[in-house]
Structure 1
Amino acid sequence: MSQIDIGITETDRLAIAEGLKKLLADSYTLYLQTHNFHWNVTGPQFRELHLMFEEHYTELAIAVDDIAERIRTLGVAAPGTYRAFAELSSIKEVDGVPDASDMVLILTRAHESVVKTCRSALVLAQEADDESSAALIGDRMRVHEKTAWMLRATL
């Protein structure tokens, strides 16, 4: 591949990509967790939660592609294995199948965790004048803040 000359230093591109890798890992881990809960939710709120979780994991499926492509745009390989995601993600796997209210609480905390990852990555992008990464990260942060609010409202 030819040299990248988009007005962002190599050092900054690498730092931003590292922040985006953590966001990608969080997003993919949250995608898997949400999909798992979609499949396994039971109880009086089954239909509502089943459909809401589907909306969330569908949105996350698109997001992970956007984040990975931004990492590639910065000239860095995007992580794509469970091992890499487990090492990078702030979201931990859940053992077993929690009850519906615990699923909502777990997902709320996970979305809030992704917001914190976004905030860290956003600082790197803003300091490097990387408006493209900052816009992507800001958009993701808004989605996760809103989703956490909607989940909290069901409790």
Structure 2
Amino acid sequence: MSQLNVIGLERNNAEQLAERLNELLANYQIFYMNVRGFHWNVKGRDFFELHVKFEETYNDLLLKIDEIAERILTLGQRPLHAYSTYIKSSTIQETKDIHDGQACVREVLESYKTTIRLQREILDLANQSDDEGTSALMSDYIKEQEKTAWMLNAYLA
């Protein structure tokens, strides 16, 4: 039996990558639901601006959720798919009853810090495993989210 999976990666490496990607997937799912809640419940002077920004953010997160799950499948593994599992596996916590715009933005920024850190760890592991597909995905996410984090930080200043 071959030690390589269908895309030519060592099975062991692919399993480790998928495990970390599932951790990332869980974080994205909780992040997504938090931002949906911010979109629905934000109040205050910046309502119109933030309502639109949160919608833009959760739509982007939803696309990334699908890409991460499909990458896990490409690695020959199964993506997590139950919210109870996401809650247990996520570093990002559920956010409830926040409607102040500044507080919502702070939560979004903290969530980006978490995803960027995880993505850097996955990028390192992917590079060690010669997994260009996962490396490229993580690199793209990091570049985009670093800019978003900078902008959110500037908004809060």
Calculate the TM-score normalised by the size of structure 2.
0.92
1:70 aligned partner, one-letter code: R
Q: 1:70 aligns to what? A: 71
Q: 1:15 aligns to what? A: 16
Q: By how many angstroms is 1:4 displaced?
A: 2.9
Q: By how many angstroms is 1:44 displaced?
A: 0.4
8 Å contact from structure 1 (residues 19, 124) kept in 2 = no
Q: 2:46 aligns to what? A: 45
8 Å contact from structure 2 (residues 119, 138) kept in 1 = yes
State how far apart, in whole Å, the 1-side matches of 2:151 and 2:27 are. 19
Q: 2:26 aligns to what? A: 25
Q: By how many angstroms is 1:98 displaced?
A: 4.2
Q: 2:94 aligns to what? A: 93
Moved more, 145-154 or 66-75: 145-154
Moved more, 21-30 or 61-70: 21-30
State how far apart, in whole Å, the 2-side matches of 1:151 and 1:25 are. 23
1:76 aligned partner, one-letter code: Q
Q: 1:153 aligns to what? A: 154
Deviations 1:43-94 (A, max 9, x none): 0000000000111001111110000000001111100111111122110112
2:110 aligned partner, one-letter code: R
State how far apart, in whole Å, the 2-side matches of 1:149 and 1:31 are. 20
Name stretches of at least 5 consecutive residues in structure 2 with no aligned partner.
none
State how far apart, in whole Å, the 2-side matches of 1:101 and 1:71 are. 35
Calculate the TM-score normalised by the size of structure 1.
0.93
State how far apart, in whole Å, the 2-side matches of 1:15 and 1:49 are. 37
Deviations 1:82-119 (A, max 9, x none): 11111221101123224111111111011111100101
State how far apart, in whole Å, the 2-side matches of 1:33 and 1:152 are. 18
Name stretches of at least 5 consecutive residues in structure 1 with no aligned partner.
none
Length, aligned pairs only: 153
Aligned residue for 2:20, secondary structure, equals: helix
8 Å contact from structure 2 (residues 43, 99) kept in 1 = no
